[in-house]
Structure 1
Amino acid sequence: MTLPHALPHLGDVAADYDILLCDVWGVIHNGRESWAGPCEALARFNREGGHAVLISNSPRPASDVIAQLDGLGVPRESWKAFVTSGDATRAELAKRAPGPAWIVGPERDGALYEGLGLERAPSAAEAAFISVTGPVDDTIETPEDYRERLAVGAERGLELICANPDRVVQRGDKLIYCGGALADLYESQGGRVVMAGKPYSPIYDLAIKEAEKLLGRAVDRSRVLCIGDGVVTDVMGANAQALDCLFIAQGIHGDQAKGEDGALDPARAGALLKAETTYARYAALELNW
């Protein structure tokens, strides 16, 4: 297995890239606060003539998430464009309107469905398909809380549209379940799942279109660097798109990629990648210039 190169400073390779496709949660914030180092690294890349595009598995449209970034103190100069799994998923939902859909997720994700003309079903028993953004209350619920209700949909052969492929994210010092964990459970029950966020192509297609607008020309894919902490989302997605990747090996993985000296251990980072049959050109514990 080829190990990732340790990259403590983005500035060391910044001249090799025109575009950064950068994950959000776990790279520039943890859901409670933003991190100055990663935000400044992106801002510096932009000031040096590059273009940082945020690419998030948030189930809400990007226009609805910008206020959250502002509230967490993420500077606007840290990014030039922003695409989400919600943006990519709306097209899938529109194909299936008017439904009805059994919608699973917190009220804050309601913007995903605005203007699509979807009718709501009270359960999978009355639905034409299922739409999941995450647990209704992700502070206390786990996928097991949905096992019996999801089984009804699987037995009926319903598709489940998952607007957030992430399995878990870090909120403060805790890991919380996301839509991808519910989708995994549904697939284990024999259900069919459709996802448009990372690692799947639709969200990357949107991100590349945004990059082309910023560049004013076609994107040279050899000059695009993906950055993220999710192996089965960010890294696997970059691999599928044949794009270089910087794996942020701390994030949801805690200290698993650290050596005894507290620094990145490329072998341990490589083991995390190998476990999912993925590869990253670079790895770091956090994003810094």
Structure 2
Amino acid sequence: MSRVISSLDEIAGDYDLALVDLWGCLHDGIRPYPEAVEACRRFRARGGAVVLVTNAPRPRADVERQIAGIGVPADCWDTIATSGDSARAAMFRGTVGRRVWTIEGPGDHGFFAPMALIDDPVEIAEVPLAEAEGIVCLGPADPHADPAVYRPQFLVAKQRGLKLLCANPDIVVDRGGVREWCAGALAALYTEMGGESLYFGKPHPPIYDLARRRYAELPGALPEPRVLAIGDGIRTDILGAQQEDIDSLFITGGIAAEETKTEGQPDPDALAAFLAAEQVTPTFAIGYLR
């Protein structure tokens, strides 16, 4: 059974590196959570490093500008690893071909900016579905519409054997309390229909490899840090940590607030039932990061 804690400070001394989720953990898509910001500041003040690990389908620089714009201060984190960068690296290596059909929401187009990290990158052309060799899925054009609206195009793509590169495995996020669909919902639909979806964010290994590389670039980085993953996604943040064999802190007041009956802290019985149903076991749990 996961241990429910009241503050990150209770366990912070046992870890050198915190892999902290953004949406639902540090901010709600509109504004930061002040207590979460302070918790990360205190972790850093103790000598720990905070790597923000996000399934945002965007380059690191775009995410940095986005979180600064909503008020997340730069002194509560050290560096950023994004699903977008992991997926971009794969795209520029030609994983889904050179000619791609793109599914994207507002503000996602920085994904196609050149990437110096890749030697001899493939030149990518965005084309209509009928001309595509693969699909790049950054998120639905309308995040409030049922993902099933893409069934007709996905049927065509599946019949042609196109692979779908999913830049954000999240199924949903809550923006200021309003639920939105993410790229992961479309990728899940494509897989359900018999297509092949490729994932690069949490809970899949590429983003953890990127996070470790970003940490290793920091001054004073340890060769074998003690790592804690923090996030509100049971099938992304927590499952990913479990698969990487690292400890985790489940933020129950995020997208699982209703299921865990979180009001300040999770209801113990509801939390136990939720974790049993998901068959994922975080090391620790807390209502909100503080």
Please, which moves more after superposition, 168-177 or 103-112? Answer: 103-112
Q: C-alpha root-mean-square deviation of aligned residues, in Å?
A: 1.5
Q: Write out aligned runs for 1:85-100 (5 A).
A: 85-96=83-94, 99-100=98-99
**Identity within the alignment, %:** 39
Q: Write out aligned runs for 1:68-107 (5 A).
A: 68-96=66-94, 99-107=98-106
Name the counterpart of 2:128: 122
Name the counterpart of 2:119: none
Report deviation, 1:107: 4.4
Find the partner of 1:232 among 232, 235, 242: 235
Name the counterpart of 2:160: 156
Find the partner of 2:179 among 172, 175, 198: 175
Find the aligned partners of 1:208 and 1:284 in 2 and give their Cα distance. Answer: 25
Which SS does the other structure have where 1:287 is aligned? Answer: coil
Report deviation, 1:201: 0.5
Report deviation, 1:273: 2.5
Tell me, yes or no, if structure 1 residue 108 matches structure 2 residue 88: no
Aligned length: 281
Please list every run of at least 4 consecutive aligned residues from structure 1 whose deviation after the TM superposition is greater than 3 angstroms.
Answer: none
Find the partner of 1:135 among 130, 140, 144: 140
Report deviation, 1:113: 1.1
Q: What code does the residue aligned with 1:22 have?
A: V
Name the counterpart of 2:118: none
Q: Compared with structure 1, are the counterparts of its residues 277 and 218 closer, same or farther at alpha carbon in structure 2 (3 Å cutoff)?
A: same
Report deviation, 1:31: 0.7
Find the aligned partners of 1:24 and 1:262 in 2 and give their Cα distance. Answer: 19
- Say if 2:2 and 2:284, in contact at 8 Å, map to a contact too: yes
Q: Which runs of no fewer than 5 residues in structure 2 stay unpaired?
A: 115-121
Q: When the two structures are superposed, what TM-score results if normalisation uses the length of structure 1? A: 0.93
Which SS does the other structure have where 1:251 is aligned? Answer: coil
Find the aligned partners of 2:266 and 2:153 in 1 and give their Cα distance. Answer: 42
Please, which moves more after superposition, 241-250 or 88-97? Answer: 88-97
Find the aligned partners of 1:50 and 1:107 in 2 and give their Cα distance. Answer: 35
- Say if 2:58 and 2:85, in contact at 8 Å, map to a contact too: yes
CA deviations on 1:21-69 (whole Å, 9 max, x unpaired) are 0000000111111110001100111111110110000000111111111
Q: Write out aligned runs for 1:272-283 (5 A).
A: 272-283=274-285
Q: When the two structures are superposed, what TM-score results if normalisation uses the length of structure 2? A: 0.93
Find the aligned partners of 1:262 and 1:103 in 2 and give their Cα distance. Answer: 40
- Say if 2:230 and 2:250, in contact at 8 Å, map to a contact too: yes
Q: Which runs of no fewer than 5 residues in structure 1 stay unpaired?
A: none
Q: Write out aligned runs for 1:23-62 (5 A).
A: 23-62=21-60
Which structure carries more helix by proportion?
Answer: 1
Q: Compared with structure 1, are the counterparts of its residues 57 and 34 closer, same or farther at alpha carbon in structure 2 (3 Å cutoff)?
A: same
